[in-house]
């Protein structure tokens, strides 16, 4: 199975029979034969492959449609009365999640943390017995599932961190890939066997995981009427390690400056979300084969950027 290539080179992850069995076993209480699975992903995406397998194993119905627009997807959700919506590629920003819950009041909306290397979800809230927790902890991507372990470590010292402390997420599961196929790249493991995800995260006191991602920053920026789309990546910084930098596509004939965007994020976001790497306007965002932003391509632009004077505007 191929990784998406959003954040780096595409890798081919070899799946074994036990790999498939363990992943399907973890989902046996989630998917039933009465479910209708609406699949808007292309069949080259691992999420689409798993949807087809769940139908074969659990007897559920799979409806594969070509994604045409958000409005068409909403009509299909309403038509088939879907009881469960998963967000796997990225976590849904808080305000967007609140809006979706107000619209789909009879549908269970679930953020989860997943990656191709582990064959599915590492964390999510189980809709059969963690419904109230999922509603209450709107920013969380859930709790660890069967066969999965995780911990947060300090990026520099690599020491184990406690609840509500931000650090790098390390994961260990029964579906650990030993190597990638046909590439001179090895999975990034620690000496004691933990997979290094490269994601910044934290656990709370109830072992609920929170991913600190650029998606909330992008949501703040794209709500501006003068912005069509944007992508945020990390810019290497000698003091802070990485700082957010935004690539922005303006609406046609719109008037918006770097300072406007930096100020908006500073007022509506958290301190660590401030655009200390600056704002750069581009004509079009690079995209992947499944329609997402290719952050790998955006990172290739970083060495070409000139120092951004907007970083001295007082909102950094």
pLDDT tens, the chain, 316 aa long: 676 655 556 777 777 777 777 777 777 777 888 888 887 777 777 778 878 888 888 888 888 877 656 677 778 877 887 777 777 655 666 777 788 788 877 777 878 888 877 777 889 888 778 888 888 888 889 999 888 999 999 877 889 999 988 888 999 988 777 777 766 667 778 888 898 887 888 999 999 999 877 778 998 999 999 999 999 988 887 777 678 999 999 999 999 999 999 999 999 888 878 999 999 999 999 876 556 788 778 888 888 876 655 455 555 5
- Assign residue 253 a region (left: φ > 0; alpha: ψ between -120 and 50; beta: otherwise): left
In angstroms, rounded to a whole number, what is the distance separating the alpha carbons of residues 138 and 72? 26
In 23-112, beta strands by DSSP E: 36-39, 61-64, 84-87, 108-111
In angstroms, rounded to a whole number, what is the distance separating the alpha carbons of residues 108 and 110? 6
- Chain centre to alpha carbon of residue 32: 25
Burial of 199 (0-12, 13-18, 19+ CB in 10 A): middle
Domain ranges of the chain: 17-212, 215-312
Cβ neighbours of 290 (radius 10 Å)? 17
In angstroms, rounded to a whole number, what is the distance separating the alpha carbons of residues 10 and 28? 30
Element (H, E) at 250: strand 241-250
- Maximum pairwise Cα distance, the chain: 59
Read off the pTM: 0.72
pLDDT at residue 12, as a whole number: 77
CATH number of 215-312: 3.30.300.30
Cβ neighbours of 261 (radius 10 Å)? 24
pLDDT at residue 151, as a whole number: 96
- Give the CA angle between residues 277, 278, 279 to the nearest 5°: 135
Token look-up 């999510």 returns 124
To 10 degrees, what angle do helices 46-58 and 17-26 make?
70
pLDDT at residue 89, as a whole number: 59
To 10 degrees, what angle do helices 215-222 and 94-103 make?
70
Cβ neighbours of 278 (radius 10 Å)? 23
At the second CATH level, the architecture of 17-212 is 3-Layer(aba) Sandwich (3.40)
Same fold? 17-212, 215-312 = no
pLDDT at residue 213, as a whole number: 75
Question: How would DSSP label each residue in 56-84?
Answer: HHH--EEEE-----HHHHHHHHHHHT-SE
């Amino acid at each position: 199975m191929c990784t998406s290539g959003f954040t780096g080179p595409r890798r081919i992850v070899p799946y074994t029979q036990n790999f498939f069995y363990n992943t399907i076993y973890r989902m046996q209480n989630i998917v039933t034969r009465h479910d209708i699975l609406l699949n808007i992903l292309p069949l080259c995406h691992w999420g689409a492959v798993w949807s087809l397998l769940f139908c074969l194993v659990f007897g559920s119905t799979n409806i594969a449609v070509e994604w045409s627009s958000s409005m068409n997807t909403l009509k299909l959700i309403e038509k088939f009365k879907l009881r469960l919506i998963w967000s796997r590629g990225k976590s849904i920003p808080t305000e967007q999640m609140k809006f979706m819950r107000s619209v789909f009041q009879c549908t269970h909306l679930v953020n989860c943390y997943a990656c191709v290397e582990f064959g599915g979800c590492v964390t999510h809230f189980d809709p059969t017995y963690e419904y109230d927790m999922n509603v209450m902890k709107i920013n969380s991507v859930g709790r660890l599932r069967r066969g999965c372990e995780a911990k947060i470590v300090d990026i520099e010292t690599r020491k184990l961190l406690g609840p509500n402390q931000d650090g790098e997420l390390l994961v260990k599961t029964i579906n650990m890939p030993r190597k990638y196929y046909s590439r001179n790249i090895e999975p990034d493991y620690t000496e004691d066997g933990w997979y290094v995800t490269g994601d910044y995260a934290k656990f709370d006191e109830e072992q609920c995981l929170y991913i600190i991602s650029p998606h909330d920053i992008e949501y703040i920026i794209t709500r501006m009427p003068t912005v069509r789309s944007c992508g945020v990546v990390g810019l290497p910084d000698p003091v802070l390690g990485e700082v957010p930098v935004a690539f922005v596509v303006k609406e046609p004939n719109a008037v918006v400056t770097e300072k406007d965007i930096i100020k908006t994020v500073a007022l509506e976001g958290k301190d660590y979300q401030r655009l200390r790497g600056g704002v750069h306007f581009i004509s079009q965002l690079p995209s992947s084969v499944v329609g997402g932003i290719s952050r790998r391509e955006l990172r290739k632009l970083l060495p070409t950027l000139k120092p951004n004077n907007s970083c001295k505007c007082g909102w950094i």
